[in-house]
Amino acid sequence: MSTSTLVRCAAGVLAACALFELGLRPFVAGWNQPEGPVRTIRSYEEGFSVAHFEPDGLGTYGNRLTGNPPLAGAPEGLIVGDSHVIAQAVRDEETMGAVIERLSRAAGRPLNVRQYGWSSAKAPTYLGSAELLLRSRNPTWVAVVINAYFSVHALTVSQNWRMELAPDDSFRLIDMRPSPIISRFQRMRRQIGRSALAFGLWRRIGTMWNVAAFEDGVAEAPDRVPRVTILGLKKAYGSRLIIVYAPSFFGTDYETVEPLEQEVLSLCAEYGVACISTREAMRRERYDHLSLSRGFHNTAPGAGHFNATGHRIIAEEIWRYVAVSP
């Protein structure tokens, strides 16, 4: 191959990269864009979304902003969960926190709602983060949103927090969070993340990795983890705790009851923990109004994270409980 041909090939590759870089900028932005009081994340894997966060050091990205103006002096509610609570795939005003704020203010009982999620979070993360969350926010109530995978890999997870069980159902939490000292690799990753093309490729590789891990580990859920978790959450959050079970419903069949849902509800009743399930509300939405709680225009029906409908239903169920609580 001649030198001129190589030059033309290289120029073509560079031109294509530049074109993709410019074309992706309206749709892709990572956690470090920009570094300031508001963190903006843009993605296109599920719908086309722009999500904003307050980077306060809690959760994966910080407090998920709701698009509503905060009210000075209003009591605060707190929503804790995994990537469904991060809610990257919906707009700020469609998040469950935003819906609860609007419902509470319309009812004359105004709330500010803080919403913290961790990517791929498991039960130990909700336990290990409790003290800092309560000390930092001092909320009037805490809704911990869980699903059928909150106990999967709880004993082996390699990020956030890990749980180690003792024979008597006590547990020890192992801190798996990265060191606060930024390594050379992390600095390089941040710089790469400033490129929409590079970040888009990084995110796509991560998605494929997560799918493979999900398929390998979906059936693994140690028997004792749900019981230990419910007891641990009760101790960690006290009377402010509300456990919200949001079933998976991957697909369009909303009739199936997950065994873990029944176990969680039974454990909550046994230990006197406030617990609600959104299954019936989501089932009614599916069959009465023909609306799915998961999925977007560019995903399979009912697959993926909660869409605006799912967030609204979860918010309405939380508010229904909070509104009648003393």
169 within 8 A of 228, measured Cβ to Cβ:
yes
* Per-residue pLDDT at 277 exceeds 90: yes
CATH number of 60-177+222-324: 3.40.50.1110
Separation CA 250–CA 41 (nearest Å): 25
pLDDT band with cut points at 50, 70 and 90 for residue 190: low
What pLDDT does residue 250 have? 76
Identify the CA nearest to 53 among candidates 138, 105, 116. Answer: 116
The C-alpha angle 170, 173, 176, rounded to 5 degrees, equals: 160
Q: What percent of the chain has pLDDT over 90?
A: 56
Q: In what order do the strands lie in the sheet with 76-81?
A: 112-117, 76-81, 141-146, 241-245, 274-277
pLDDT band with cut points at 50, 70 and 90 for residue 184: low
6 within 8 A of 166, measured Cβ to Cβ:
no
Scored b (16 or more CB within 10 A) or e, 116-133 reads bbbbbbbbbbbbbbbeeb
Q: Which residue has the higher pLDDT, 279 or 13?
A: 279
- Residue 94 sits at φ, ψ, to 5 deg, of -100, -5
What pLDDT does residue 83 have? 93
The alpha-carbon radius of gyration of the chain (Å, integer) is 21
Single-letter amino acid, residue 217? G
Match 């991560």 to its residue by tokens.
Answer: 206
* Per-residue pLDDT at 187 exceeds 80: no
What are residue 274's DSSP bridge partners? 242
Which 8-state DSSP code applies to residue 65?
P
Using CA atoms of 263, 145, 242, 141 in order, give the dihedral in degrees to the nearest 10.
170
Average pLDDT score over residue span 214-219 = 45
What pLDDT does residue 175 have? 93
Separation CA 252–CA 307 (nearest Å): 14
Average pLDDT score over residue span 122-144 = 96
